[in-house]
Amino acid sequence: MPDLAGHPPPSSGQGGATSLEVVVVSDQALIAEAVAAALRATGLEANAEGWAAVLPAGTVQGRQLLPVGIALIESDHTDMLTSIRELVERGGVTRWIVLTAVPPGPLWGAALEAGATLVMPRSSSLDQVVAAARGVASGGRLREVEDAGLRSAWERARGEREQLLEAFASLTRSEREVLDQLYAGRTVQEIADSRDVAVVTVRHQVRSVLRKLGVSSQLAAVARYARLREGGPGASGTAGGTGTGSS
- How do the residues of the chain divide into helix, strand and coil, expressed in percent and rounded to 5? 50, 15, 35
Q: What is residue 243's predicted lDDT score, i.e. its pLDDT?
A: 34
Q: Which residues contact 190 (CB under 8 A, 6 or more apart)?
A: 181
Q: Tell me which residue of 220, 218, 211, 225 sits closest to 239, measured CA to CA.
A: 220
What is the average per-residue pLDDT within 190-216? 94
Q: What is the pLDDT of residue 1?
A: 44
Provide Rg for the chain, Cα atoms. Answer: 23
Alpha-carbon distances of 203 from 208, 224, 240, rounded to whole Å: 9, 19, 17
Task: Tell me what pLDDT residue 236 has.
Answer: 38
What's residue 82's pLDDT? 75
Picking from 65, 69, 67, 63, the residue whose alpha carbon sits closest to that of residue 86 is 69
Q: What is the pLDDT of residue 5?
A: 41
Position with higher pLDDT, 11 vs 219: 219
Query: Contacts from 114-123 at CB under 8 Å and sequence distance 24+?
Result: 114/81, 114/84, 114/85, 114/88, 115/84, 115/85, 115/87, 115/88, 115/89, 116/71, 116/84, 116/88, 118/142, 118/143, 118/147, 119/150, 122/1, 122/3, 122/72, 122/74, 123/3
pLDDT of residue 142: 56
CATH number of 164-230: 1.10.10.10
**69-89, pLDDT tens digit by residue?**
898 886 655 566 777 777 777
Cα 52–chain centre separation: 21
Residue 212: per-residue pLDDT:
92
- Alpha-carbon gap, residue 67 to 23, rounded angstroms: 9
Confidence bin at 228 (pLDDT 50/70/90): confident
Of the candidates 134, 97, 128, 99, the one whose C-alpha atom is nearest the C-alpha of residue 10 is 128
Specify whether the CB–CB gap between 114 and 88 falls below 8 A.
yes
Is pLDDT at 180 greater than 70 in this prediction?
yes
Q: What's the whole-model pTM score?
A: 0.59
Please give the average per-residue pLDDT across 20-44, as a whole number: 89
Top mean-pLDDT range of 61-70, 195-204, 238-247:
195-204
Sheet holding 21-25, edge to edge: 45-49, 21-25, 66-73, 93-100, 118-121
Q: What is the mean pLDDT of the chain?
A: 76
The full set of domain ranges for the chain reads 2-142, 164-230
CA dist., res. 114 & res. 86, Å (int)? 9
Q: Please determine, looking at this structure, whether the domain spanning 2-142 carries the CATH number 3.65.10.10.
A: no
